[in-house]
């Protein structure tokens, strides 16, 4: 009996200590981790599409509830005016989800730029979505709500060579982003005001 | 349905857990000297992996996420898997002794097998739905079994060849595994 | 005992039909010349250089490995020369020297000697070398780029690339006769259809390669290509598939490698046909331009398992139940 | 038990260096050694966990009831793994992304449980620390050297710096999955030769 | 019966020797100074000879070993025992060798024990006196009451290549064979006697009074196991029942000798041997059992050189001896003298999986895998999974092996080792 009690006690103490330690550590590192995630995962993409912005889009951000989820929006100031927001959406690619950061000019509702964030595409094939300006450039200037399609599906977008699947994913991500944008536009405009000035 | 089939083929052939994801190598090298052992291990892994994949998925979605303590994933998963294997072992021993005799010796090995833990983590990382998690767990395990059995077929012959002394055993085993992994490049791009 | 001379004591058989590894190697080497010589004629001195370097470096690696593993020097059996020759057959004439040297090193060292030399290798060494080179330096083995500097009096585009990118219609204009006569680009020893077929028939007749494997491979390629073509004409027909890329050299010189192929009848059929089917699958829906290399590696992989299917031994006595 | 602390430390560096002499922990060895950086990162993370779990288990060795010792070890190890996970996310996020799920998988790395069971549970604090540190550093060295070989040939770089001239065509095979296995296998052969086996 | 490559029409077909004009009458050879008798004990701890150095023996006298499992020998000449040695034969088999310095041919004393009973032929006295006749008749099968013998097969064919001994007997001595068959029928009570002959001897053999079966000349069709399976199989019986021992095999030579023994009361000792000399000439020799091989070589005016091989038995299944001081044995059909430079080399190459052996094996043993396990010394696996014991030891696989592995030697060694366990 004493042994069993000892077993239970030891296990309980160990688990409690472990849980306590981890919870404490989690609390003290949470903020830094979130920042790191933004910087390393979203950061490069945001910097790329909001190149030349007067502010740091990673710190200038806000979140809007979209149904169940929270969406982060990153603000780009151009010509002294906070008129561009960048946000992320996903499409299904060759190796799972392809995350795409889409920047939209709220004044014109046109795409300012797109860049891939997270993906698991093959180097030399789909992964060139990160670097292929000829591909991403096709989206610049089109209305965000235009739901682009690759040529194989009857649209206008020329797919990445040998990577139709990845290209479709990009188109799908932009379409979804367009829908979300339409839904949330009033809220976005409201929030943007706080950054102008 | 088609998507699940694609997921399945991709998990078995293209993203094979052993040959492309580098998970589960210790039992791969340890149980591949004899065909009977390999088949036993393959069965045991399929059995445990499907259960572990499903249980950890449920645990993650309905417990850890709800409570916002996803950082306890690692510790809770390993405890669940260890407990599960113990439980399965006891259950089999009592209720299905025949199956236990076949799989029993492999079960403890599986606890410290990163394939099981790895697939559970992949299921979460890829944000699979329940049914996708089920299919991927099974398919990864089947991929493990397939690779293990093919490897064993070759290894049985390699064990009889005049392999130079320093290369014998694990060393040649690893090289052979690499060459099998190379052969699996055949399936790239097929789904 | 009386003072008789010292007699040799050894085991049966005291007669032998005379077959030996070196004889077989020599025959394969000679047969391969039927395809290599037209290749060298077509591509000129660089091709000759590649062939010579390949054979020479393969033999050099063989000697090095013999010394390292403290075994008798085994270049006498000609296997290394055959490996070098077959490897050269698959290369473009412009392959740089270091590609040839590294390739034969992979084939001889990784493919053969770490498994204990001849007979031990579970994979075809040449296929391993080519696969690893494809993975690492794909563009050197890209025949369109590699052979761009040649001016030919025929359409110098690798037919399989055409097929992959533009479908069957792009290769519709290619006449099978041209392909047979070697009026296509490709590996040094892989383009001249009649040379390959003649060499293959010779080897099959002499029993140096097992006809079951070679023919079932060709049948697998042909039938699968035909099925694809009938279902969707965007896929090329059997003629093109059989006469382009590595198909013929694969059937007669690659898939028939002894150590990594089965010896029983049904397994040989499964092995050959399986590789044939997979070849066309890879070409039509897979990622690689030519499927022969990886199809053969996969076939090597299943060889130990399929070769367990064997005819029942007559009068097998089970002494221990 | 006549071994000195120094001997406990140095055995992990050569005589029992994992994963070559103790053929354990193959998966991380294969997965993270595409580059020196990944190898060292993984090695340090493992060393950290090994050091602390060895120390803690050694301290607690008389309190832990034998029947639940494995469970206790797992809790201890998993706790430290999570600590590492959180810290790496917060401070070295780039490496954390590179190592992916292999950080949480440290918990199933046989070296850890192996050392806990075979050494720390039977020895005093100092030898356990020496053992953990030695094994950890040995593991780090192995991963780093494998990473170096693969990175140098596979990318033509060492710790990100170019080692060959620009005309070098990298031997991509080395950094792909098959290359990982073949390279480790051949290194094991060299170690066997060096060990006079 | 031999499965060959569909296209393999260019591989030479391996045929048995045909006895024709190139074989002259057997050259009679008689021992010059001594004869040597070999006794091979099959069991027992330390079997001792029941005779000793200095004993005198007469021609036809029976010499025994204390161990009853050991076959006796009859001395073919009279003389005095000068030496008894124990030696080790192939696979560590124990052999007791007795050397007898023979008396002058004109003063041979003859043992009369057989003569006294020869007019009452019976299985009992056949077993007592005739076991070591030339051709080595095996009467043992008749003792097994569980598997009654239904058929007696008389082999007018030789087991290995080169040898034409039995064919010669059928061709030139069919009358004695006929007599022997009669005696066999009488002493065993088995009336179904089948004479197996090559096609060209069917006519000659017609007068033997036995059922005739002609056998394919392609090696190894004349192997007893294959004959039993393919020539004698009864249609209504499933093939795998051949384990039931219902056929007794006798060589034609043995049958003729049995006939002669009961007819004349004198036990014949002259063994007919096919001798293949260095230059490839085939001749027949007849020499008494026990004659040292050196005497035969001398009579054929052949000289032994260093490194030559003297092979007892055929080229496929025989074995080579280390000295010409080796006796003629009752079952020695063939003697081959092979010059050192014509000996095929046997390099130490592993199996390259060429599959040639698989094509020729008459019983479909998976030889390519079998040799791997045999070379690795894993005999149990070879037995349990790769049909080691199904091998009929024809040696064809080793004849075609591209790596020149002495496969038959491996197989025999493995079988022997396993049987000793
Ligand atoms: C190794 C390999 C990796 C590939 N990776 C991708 C990829 O990441 N994204 C993609 O869209 N297609 C990829 N593909 C190509 C697809 O398999 C498929 O062929 C292609 O998407 C079809 O589109 P296409 O018509 O543009 O060629 C890859 C192919 C191979 C062989
Ligand atoms: C996590 C882990 C898993 C292992 N798995 C196996 C295994 O599945 N099979 C095995 O034979 N050995 C395994 N080993 C190694 C064994 O403990 C032991 O070294 C090995 O069985 C001896 O192999 P041998 O019988 O070929 O000498 C494993 C070791 C570890 C740490
Ligand atoms: C064993 C060996 C390996 C080599 N590996 C490579 C290589 O991986 N990449 C490469 O470009 N050259 C390699 N070379 C070739 C030399 O570095 C060669 O001098 C260099 O490629 C010159 O090429 P360049 O004319 O393009 O400058 C190798 C040479 C040898 C002997
Ligand atoms: C048609 C044919 C192709 C062969 N191809 C190879 C080969 O690709 N690689 C190899 O190592 N040996 C090859 N060999 C050699 C063969 O397996 C065996 O080793 C030779 O008989 C010895 O030189 C081939 C043999 C034949 C008959
Ligand atoms: S826990 Fe110990 S004994 Fe078990 S596998 Fe790991 S190191 Fe080996
Ligand atoms: S000796 Fe045995 S294995 Fe060889 S061919 Fe004859 S029966 Fe087959
Ligand atoms: S003939 Fe010899 S080398 Fe060929 S498969 Fe048979 S045993 Fe192997
Ligand atoms: S005698 Fe047998 S075991 Fe010895 S080397 Fe030759 S084949 Fe190998
Ligand atoms: S580290 Fe051992 S199975 Fe992965």
Taking only the tens place, the pLDDT of each residue in D134-174 is 999 999 999 999 999 999 998 888 887 888 877 888 888 99
Q: Does B164 touch chain E (CB under 8 A)?
A: no
pLDDT exceeds cutoff 70 at A142:
yes
Probe target for ligand 7 pocket from E11, E355, E408, with the most ligand atoms within 8 Å of CB = E355
For residue E406, the ligand closest to its alpha carbon is 8
Look at residue A51 in the predicted model and tell me its pLDDT: 82
Chain E residues touching B160 at Cβ < 8 A = 372-373, 375-376
Could you tell me if B135 and B116 are in contact, meaning their C-beta atoms sit under 8 angstroms apart?
no
What does the radius of gyration of chain C's CA atoms come to, in whole angstroms?
21
Please give the Cα distance from E171 to E204 (Å, whole number): 6
Give the mean pLDDT of E224-251. 70
Enumerate the residues of chain E whose CB falls inside 8 A of the CB of residue B157. 372
E63 neighbors E49 (Cβ within 8 angstroms): yes
Taking the C-alpha atoms of residue A58 and residue E169, their distance in angstroms, rounded to an integer, is: 107
Nearest residue in chain C measured CA to CA from D169: C137
> Is residue E17 in some structural domain?
no
Residue numbers of the domain that contains D171: 5-195
Nearest to C285 by CA among B13, E36, B171, E126: B13
Q: Is E394 in the pocket of ligand 6 (CB under 6 A)?
A: yes
Test C116 with B164 for CB contact under 8 angstroms: yes
Would an 8 Å CB–CB cutoff place B162 in contact with chain E?
yes
Cα nearest neighbour of D178 on chain C: C132
Full DSSP string of A104-135: EETTTTEEEEEEE-S--PPTTTGGGGGT-HHH
- For residue D21, what pLDDT is reported? 77
Q: What is the pLDDT of residues D7-62, one digit of tens each?
A: 888 887 888 888 887 777 888 899 999 889 999 999 999 999 999 999 999 998 88
D-chain CB neighbours of B172 within 8 Å are: 185
Report how far residue C19's alpha carbon sits from residue A125's, in angstroms, rounded to the nearest whole number. Answer: 50
pTM: 0.84
What is the CA(B79)–ligand 5 centre distance, in A? 18
- What is the pLDDT averaged over residues E115-144? 85
Quick one: pLDDT at residue C138? 80
Instruction: Name the residue with higher pLDDT: D62 or B154.
Output: B154
Interface with A, mutate which of B61, B64, B71, B191 (most A CBs under 10 A): B71
With an 8 Å Cβ cutoff, are B167 and C114 in contact? Answer: yes
CA distance A144 to A185: 12
State the closest ligand 7 atom to the C-alpha of E355, by its place in the atom list counted from 1.
Answer: 5
Is residue C25 lining ligand 4, measured as CB closer than 6 Å? yes
Strands (E) across chain D are located at 157-158, 161-162
Per the structure, the count of domains in chain E is 3
Q: What is the mean pLDDT of residues C123-148?
A: 90
Average pLDDT score, chain A: 83
Residue E346: band (very low, low, confident or very high) from pLDDT cuts 50, 70, 90: confident
B161/E375 Cα distance (integer angstroms) = 10
Q: What is the number of the ligand closest to the CA of E405?
A: 8
Residue ranges per structural domain of chain C: 21-136, 159-304
- Look at residue E2 and tell me if it is in a domain: no
> CA of E138, closest CA in chain C: separation in Å?
22
Whole-angstrom Cα distance, residue C119 to residue E171?
A: 48
Structure tokens at B111: 């606890």
pLDDT of residue C171: 80
D185 within 8 A of B171, measured Cβ to Cβ: yes
* For range A2-16, the mean pLDDT: 82
Mark whether E36 and E110 lie in a shared domain: yes
- Facing residues of E195 across strands? E154, E212
Interface test with B, best of E351, E352, E372 (most B CBs within 10 A): E372
**In this structure, what token pair is assigned to residue D69?**
């010792």
Identify the CA nearest to E328 among candidates E25, E18, E34.
E34
How far apart are alpha carbons C278 and C286 in whole angstroms? Answer: 10
The rounded distance, in Å, linking the Cα atoms of D181 and D192 is 16
Q: Are C80 and C61 in contact (CB under 8 A)?
A: yes
- pLDDT tens per residue across span B43-65: 888 988 999 999 999 999 998 88
Q: What is the pLDDT of residue A123?
A: 62
D27:B73 CB<8 A = no
Q: What digits encode the pLDDT tens for the residues E49-59?
A: 888 898 899 98
The residue that leads in pLDDT, C311 or E89, is: C311
Q: Is chain A touching chain D, with at least 3 CB–CB pairs below 8 Å?
A: yes
Residue scoring higher pLDDT (E93 or B171)? B171
Q: How distant is the Cα of A117 from the closest Cα of chain D, in angstroms? A: 13
| E147 and E260 co-located in one domain | yes
Q: Does C110 touch chain D (CB under 8 A)?
A: yes
Nearest to D30 by CA among E344, A161, C147, B28: B28
Å from D173 to nearest chain C CA?
A: 5
Query: Could you give the C-alpha distances from D99 to D38, D177, E282, E391, in angstroms and in order?
Result: 7, 15, 79, 57
Nearest residue in C to B177, CA atom: C301
Q: Which helix (H) or strand (E) holds C77?
A: none
**Ligand 1 midpoint to CA B191 (Å):** 9
Q: How confident is the model at residue C137 (pLDDT cuts 50, 70, 90)?
A: confident
pLDDT > 70: percent of chain C: 97
Contacts of A23 in chain B (CB under 8 A): 69
Residue E3 pLDDT exceeds 50 = no
Contact present, C and B (at least 3 Cβ pairs less than 8 Å):
yes
- A168 pLDDT band (50/70/90 cuts)? confident
Residue B13 reports pLDDT greater than 80: yes
Distance of CA C300 to the CA centre of its chain: 12
Q: Are C132 and D178 inside 8 Å of each other by CB?
A: yes
**Secondary structure of B29-98 in the HEC alphabet?**
HHCCCCHHHHHHHHHHHHHHHHHHHHHHHHHHHHHHHHHCCHHHHHHHHHHHHHHHHHHHHHHHHHHCHH
- Dig out the tokens for E1 from the structure: 């019966």
Q: What is the CATH number of the domain that holds E240?
A: 3.40.50.11540
- Residue C284: pLDDT over 60: yes
CB contact under 8 A, A11 and D97: no
Q: Do B163 and C301 touch (CB under 8 A)?
A: no
Kindly state if the Cβ of D33 falls inside 6 Å of ligand 9.
Answer: no
Q: E249 and E133, same structural domain?
A: yes
Residue of D nearest to C110 (CA): D182
- Cβ separation D86–A22 shorter than 8 A: yes
In a domain, E179, yes or no: yes
Picking from E5, E50, E252, E48, the residue whose alpha carbon sits closest to that of residue E137 is E252
> Are residues E162 and E51 part of one domain?
no
CB C88 near ligand 4, within 6 Å: no
Distance CA E401, CA E356 (A): 6
Q: Is B32 close to ligand 2, i.e. is its CB under 6 Å away?
A: no
Phi, psi (rounded to 5 degrees) for E417: -60, -45
- Which value, to the nearest 10 degrees, does the dihedral of the CA atoms of residues D53, D56, D61, D66 take? -50
Binding site membership of E255 for ligand 6 (Cβ less than 6 Å): no
Residue E236 predicted with pLDDT over 50: no
Chain A residues with CB-CB distance to D78 below 8 A: 18
Question: DSSP readout, E214-248?
Answer: E--SBTTTTSHHHIIIIIS--TTS-GGGGGS--EE
Residue range of the domain that includes E187: 123-264
Among C136, C138, C301, the strongest candidate for a mutation testing the D interface, having the largest count of D CBs within 10 A, is: C136
Handedness of CA A141, A145, A150, A151 (dihedral sign): negative
Written as six digits, the tokens of C107 are: 């084939």
B179 contacts chain C (CB < 8 A):
yes
For ligand 8, the distance from its centroid to the CA atom of residue D42, given in whole angstroms, is 49
- What separation in Å is there between the alpha carbon of B98 and the centre of ligand 3? 60
Least trusted range by pLDDT, from B112-116, C124-128, E200-204: B112-116
Residue E52 has which token pair? Answer: 């000793």
- Quick check: CB of B31 below 6 Å from ligand 2? yes
> Closest residue of A to B74, CA-based?
A22
Contact of A23 with chain D, judged by CB distance below 8 Å, is answered with no
Closest ligand to E1 CA? 6
For ligand 9, is residue B31 a contact (CB within 6 Å)? Answer: no
Q: How far away, in angstroms, is D158 Cα from ligand 3 center?
A: 18
The answer to whether residue E195 scores a pLDDT higher than 90 is yes
Can you tell me the ipTM of this complex?
0.81
């Amino acid at each position: 009996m004493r042994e069993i009690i000892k077993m239970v006690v030891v296990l309980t103490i160990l688990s409690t200590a472990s849980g306590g330690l981890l919870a404490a550590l989690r609390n003290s590192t949470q903020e830094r981790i979130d920042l790191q995630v933004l910087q390393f995962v979203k950061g490069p993409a945001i910097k790329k599409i909001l190149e030349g912005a007067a502010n740091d889009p990673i710190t200038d951000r806000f979140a809007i509830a979209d149904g169940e989820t929270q969406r982060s929006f990153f603000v780009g100031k151009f010509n002294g005016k906070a008129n561009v927001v960048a946000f992320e959406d996903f499409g299904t690619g060759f190796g799972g989800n392809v995350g795409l950061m889409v920047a939209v000019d709220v004044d014109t509702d046109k795409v300012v730029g797109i860049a891939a964030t997270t993906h698991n595409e093959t180097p030399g094939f789909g992964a060139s979505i990160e670097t292929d300006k000829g591909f991403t450039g096709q989206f610049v200037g089109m209305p965000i709500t235009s739901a682009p399609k690759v040529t194989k599906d009857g649209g206008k977008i020329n797919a990445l060579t040998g990577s139709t699947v990845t290209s479709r994913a990009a188109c799908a991500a932009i379409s979804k982003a367009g829908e979300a944008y339409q839904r949330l536009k009033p809220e976005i405009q409201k929030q943007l005001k706080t950054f102008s000035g | 349905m088609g998507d699940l089939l694609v997921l399945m083929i991709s998990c078995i052939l293209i993203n094979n857990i052993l040959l492309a994801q580098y998970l589960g190598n210790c039992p791969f090298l340890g149980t591949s000297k004899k065909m009977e052992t390999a088949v036993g291990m393959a069965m045991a892994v399929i059995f445990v992996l499907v259960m572990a994949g499903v249980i950890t998925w449920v645990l993650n979605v309905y417990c850890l996420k709800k409570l916002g303590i996803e950082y306890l994933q690692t510790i809770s998963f390993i405890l669940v898997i260890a407990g599960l294997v113990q439980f399965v072992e006891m259950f089999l021993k009592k209720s299905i002794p025949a199956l236990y005799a076949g799989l029993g010796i492999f079960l403890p090995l599986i606890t410290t097998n990163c394939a099981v833990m790895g697939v559970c983590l992949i299921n979460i990382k890829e944000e699979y739905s329940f049914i996708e998690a089920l299919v991927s767990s099974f398919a990864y395990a089947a991929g493990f079994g397939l690779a293990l059995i093919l490897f064993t077929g070759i290894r049985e012959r390699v064990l009889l060849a005049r392999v130079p002394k320093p290369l014998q055993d694990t060393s040649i085993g690893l090289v052979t595994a690499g060459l099998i992994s190379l052969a699996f490049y055949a399936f790239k791009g097929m789904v | 005992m009386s003072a008789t001379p010292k007699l040799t004591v050894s085991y049966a058989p005291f007669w032998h039909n005379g077959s030996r590894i070196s004889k077989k190697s020599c025959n394969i080497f000679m047969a391969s010349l039927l395809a290599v010589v037209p290749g060298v004629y077509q591509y000129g001195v660089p091709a000759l250089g590649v062939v010579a370097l390949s054979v020479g470096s393969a033999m050099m690696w063989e000697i090095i490995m013999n010394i390292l593993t403290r075994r008798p020097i085994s270049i006498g059996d000609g296997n290394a020369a055959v490996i070098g020759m077959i490897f050269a057959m698959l290369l473009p004439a412009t392959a740089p020297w270091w590609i040839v040297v590294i390739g034969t090193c992979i084939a001889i060292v990784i493919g053969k000697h770490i498994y204990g030399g001849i007979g031990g290798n579970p994979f075809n060494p040449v296929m391993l070398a080519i696969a690893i080179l494809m993975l690492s330096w794909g563009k050197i083995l890209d025949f369109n780029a590699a052979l761009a500097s040649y001016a030919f009096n025929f359409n110098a585009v690798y037919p399989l690339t055409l097929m992959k990118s533009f479908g069957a219609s792009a290769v519709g204009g290619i006449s099978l006769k041209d392909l047979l006569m070697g009026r296509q680009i490709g590996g040094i020893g892989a383009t001249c259809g009649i040379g390959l077929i003649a060499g293959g028939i010779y080897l099959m007749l002499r029993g140096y390669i097992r006809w079951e494997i070679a023919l079932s491979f060709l049948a697998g390629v042909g039938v699968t290509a035909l099925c694809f073509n009938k279902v969707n004409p965007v896929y090329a027909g059997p003629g093109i598939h059989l006469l382009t890329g590595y198909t013929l050299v694969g059937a007669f010189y690659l898939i028939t490698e002894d150590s990594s192929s089965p010896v029983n009848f049904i397994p040989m059929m499964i092995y050959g046909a399986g590789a044939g089917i997979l070849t066309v699958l890879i070409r039509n829906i897979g990622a690689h331009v030519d499927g022969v290399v990886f199809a053969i590696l996969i076939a090597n992989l299943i060889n130990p398992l399929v070769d367990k299917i064997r005819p029942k031994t007559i009068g097998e006595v089970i002494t221990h139940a | 038990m006549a071994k000195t602390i120094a001997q406990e430390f140095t055995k992990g560096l050569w005589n029992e260096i994992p994963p070559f002499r103790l053929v354990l922990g193959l998966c991380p060895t294969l997965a993270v050694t595409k580059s020196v950086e990944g190898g060292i990162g993984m090695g340090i993370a493992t060393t950290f966990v090994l050091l602390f779990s060895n120390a803690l288990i050694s301290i607690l060795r008389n309190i832990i009831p034998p029947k639940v010792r494995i469970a206790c070890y797992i809790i201890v190890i998993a706790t430290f793994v999570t600590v590492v996970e959180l810290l790496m996310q917060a401070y070295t996020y780039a490496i954390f992304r590179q190592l992916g799920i292999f950080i949480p998988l440290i918990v199933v790395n046989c070296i850890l449980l192996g050392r806990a069971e075979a050494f720390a549970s039977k020895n005093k604090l100092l030898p356990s620390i020496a053992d953990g540190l030695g094994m950890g550093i040995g593991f780090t060295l192995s991963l780093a050297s494998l990473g170096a070989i693969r990175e140098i040939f596979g990318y033509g770089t060492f710790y990100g710096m170019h080692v060959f001239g620009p005309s070098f065509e990298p031997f991509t095979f080395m950094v792909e999955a098959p290359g990982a296995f073949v390279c480790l296998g051949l290194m094991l052969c060299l170690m066997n030769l060096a060990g006079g086996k | 019966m031999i499965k060959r490559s569909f296209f393999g029409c260019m591989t030479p077909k391996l045929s048995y020797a045909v006895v024709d004009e190139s074989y002259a009458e057997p050259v009679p050879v008689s021992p010059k100074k001594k004869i040597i008798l070999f006794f091979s004990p099959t069991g027992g701890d330390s079997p001792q000879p029941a005779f000793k150095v200095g004993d005198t023996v007469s021609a036809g006298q029976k010499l025994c070993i204390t161990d009853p499992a050991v076959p006796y020998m009859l001395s073919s000449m009279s003389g005095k025992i000068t030496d008894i040695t124990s030696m080790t034969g192939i696979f560590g088999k124990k052999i007791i060798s007795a050397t007898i310095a023979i008396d002058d041919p004109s003063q041979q004393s003859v043992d009369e024990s057989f003569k006294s009973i020869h007019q009452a032929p019976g299985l009992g006295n056949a077993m007592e006196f005739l076991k070591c006749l030339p051709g080595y008749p095996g009467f043992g099968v008749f003792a097994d009451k569980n598997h009654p013998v239904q058929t007696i097969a008389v082999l007018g064919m030789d087991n290995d290549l080169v040898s034409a001994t039995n064919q010669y007997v059928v061709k030139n001595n069919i009358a004695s064979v006929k007599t022997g068959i009669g005696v066999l029928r009488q002493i065993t009570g088995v009336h179904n006697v089948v004479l197996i002959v090559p096609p060209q001897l069917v006519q000659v053999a017609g007068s033997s009074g036995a059922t005739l079966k002609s056998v394919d000349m392609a090696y190894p069709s004349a192997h007893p196991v294959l004959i039993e399976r393919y020539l004698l199989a009864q249609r209504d019986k499933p093939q795998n029942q051949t384990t039931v021992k219902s056929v007794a095999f006798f060589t034609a030579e043995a049958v003729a000798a049995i006939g002669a023994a009961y007819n004349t009361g004198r036990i014949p000792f002259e063994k007919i041997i096919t001798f293949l000399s260095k230059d490839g000439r085939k001749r027949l020799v007849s020499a008494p059992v026990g004659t040292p091989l050196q005497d035969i070589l001398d009579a054929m005016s052949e000289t032994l050189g260093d490194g030559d091989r003297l092979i007892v038995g055929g080229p496929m299944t025989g074995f080579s001896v280390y000295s010409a001081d080796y006796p003629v044995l009752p079952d020695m059909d063939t003697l081959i003298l092979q010059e050192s430079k014509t000996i095929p080399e046997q390099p130490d190459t592993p199996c390259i999986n060429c599959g040639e052996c698989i094509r020729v094996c008459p019983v479909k043993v998976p030889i390519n895998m079998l040799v791997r396990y045999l070379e690795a010394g894993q005999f149990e696996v070879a037995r349990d999974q790769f049909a080691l014991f199904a091998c009929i030891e024809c040696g064809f696989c080793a004849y075609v092996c591209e790596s020149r592995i002495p496969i038959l030697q491996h197989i025999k060694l493995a079988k022997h080792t396993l049987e000793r366990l």
